[in-house]
Amino acid sequence: MLIAVLAIFVAVRVLPANPVIAQFGQHAVPEKIEKEMEERGWNKPLWQQAIAFAGQIAQGNLGESFARPGEKISTRLSQAVPATLELTFAAMLIAIPLGVVVGTIAALWRNSWPDWISMAVALLGVSIPVFFLAICLIMAFPMMPTGSRLPPATFHDLHTEFYFFESLLTGNFQLATTSARHLMLPAIALSTIPLAVVSRVTRNSMLEVFDADYLRTARAKGAGFLRVIARHAFPNASLSVLNIVGFQLGMLLSGAILTETVFNWPGLGRYVVDAIRDYDYSVVQACALVLACIFVTLNLTLDVLFLLLDPRLREGNRS
């Protein structure tokens, strides 16, 4: 995270455009530009700016927007980040079960028509650009709502910005259904690439497991087909699947920009796009930091899950 903070700070400072000049325009009074630069600390040496920036991050202060003076970035992020997380988790809820099922079917009927069809669909899912698929979905389903997470002026008593998951957990199924309708098309568009990747990794992992000695032993002892798959094959193949799922989850969080832009989804991706358009560097660096933090947290969580699922790693650590 320290490396990420330093890299983001340097990357933002070496960009050619000045955010203060972009805020006031090319014909702004030089005295006003100098005053704004001094108030924001952009006229100080880089090492002083870096220390001040690291101090703000350590206190949880992400600063204020350049393009919208007085607007705290953390306030907008508290709304945009849950929207992106909910969209990403919904996409993975579609991609993981379908990908595992498709990959398992392809492995069970290897080198036959189910295998060929499933892998062709997986290749198609990876090949179609997300923004093109999003546009096709909007045109194919014009009755499905886009552009927001809920209809305008919808009353709700939710305490978080996770509209769908909170309403589902609290039993507000009407609001959950309404939120799901707004969530469905973006989640489908975003799920195609991870679905294809998970299905291919599942197929390869299952094929490796099928040739293992312990699986042949289980079949020789009379274990049923479904028991062999569920009890012996998939748990041993799940580590590779879990690894790629964690990687795809991180990629979706940072790669949801195109999907959110096409569907006008009020998440982190659209917030970044608007900030880049307005030369709002403070927002760009804050969003980059949030994405880096989420990515590091995901990788740490995966490492812990690997230790829990694979006893060989725990035995290796003890030895």
Q: What ranges do the domains of the chain cover?
A: 2-58, 79-278
The residue ranges of the chain whose pLDDT is under 50 are 319
pLDDT in tens, 237-250: 777 777 788 777 77
pLDDT at 281: 82
pLDDT at 125: 81
Superfamily of the domain at 79-278: MetI-like (1.10.3720.10)
Q: Which two tokens stand for residue 86?
A: 């909910």
Burial class (CB in 10 A: 0-12, 13-18, 19+), 135: middle
pTM: 0.82
pLDDT at 307: 80
DSSP state of 72: B
pLDDT at 185: 92
Q: Which two tokens stand for residue 310?
A: 């694979």
Side chain identity, residue 72: K
pLDDT at 186: 92
